Amino acid sequence: MIKFKIWDRQTDLYPLVGGKLTPEQVYEKWGWTQSPSAVVLITEEGGVLGSIDNLAILKANHGITAEDTEQAIAEIEAIMNTPAPEPVDQNEAIVARLDYMIMMNEEGTL
């Protein structure tokens, strides 16, 4: 289960590549994180997701309209934690279409 939070600038981070990074190393690696206005979004385990600008992109991509940052993060978490739907079996899809055609024909609407 994915959980996000805003980085407190004191916790070590664990990017996908590179192992553990201290806050000083984070500042060296990603200079933009030094800006006082930068808000860094991370996973609960300390993985780096990106800046709050990325949150705006995620909101747009997922159709999230919440203005509150915490609410938007919760909605993104819910979407990302939803299992992918099972792929549609093509045979089942064909049978469903044929059933629909038969049903519509019986009602005289075809």
Read off the pLDDT of residues 6-30 as tens digits, 9 standing for 90 and up: 889 999 988 877 688 999 998 998 8
Task: Examine residue 97 and state whether it is found in any structural domain, yes or no.
Answer: no
Task: Examine residue 96 and state whether it is found in any structural domain, yes or no.
Answer: no
Please report which helix (H) or strand (E) contains residue 53, including its range.
helix 52-62
Task: Examine residue 67 and state whether it is found in any structural domain, yes or no.
Answer: yes
Residue 50 has pLDDT above 90, yes or no: no
Task: Examine residue 36 and state whether it is found in any structural domain, yes or no.
Answer: yes
Domains in the chain, number: 1
| CB atoms inside a 10 Å sphere around CB 39 | 15
Rg (CA), the chain: 23
User: In terms of DSSP bridges, do strands 40-43 and 48-51 run parallel, antiparallel, or are they unpaired?
Assistant: antiparallel
HSE toward the beta carbon, residue 75, CA cutoff 13 A = 17
Task: Examine residue 18 and state whether it is found in any structural domain, yes or no.
Answer: yes
Q: What does pTM read for this prediction? A: 0.53
Q: Provide the pLDDT for residue 108.
A: 56
Q: Which domain holds residue 34?
A: 4-80
Task: Examine residue 10 and state whether it is found in any structural domain, yes or no.
Answer: yes
Task: Examine residue 19 and state whether it is found in any structural domain, yes or no.
Answer: yes
Task: Examine residue 104 and state whether it is found in any structural domain, yes or no.
Answer: no
Cross-strand pairs, 5: 42
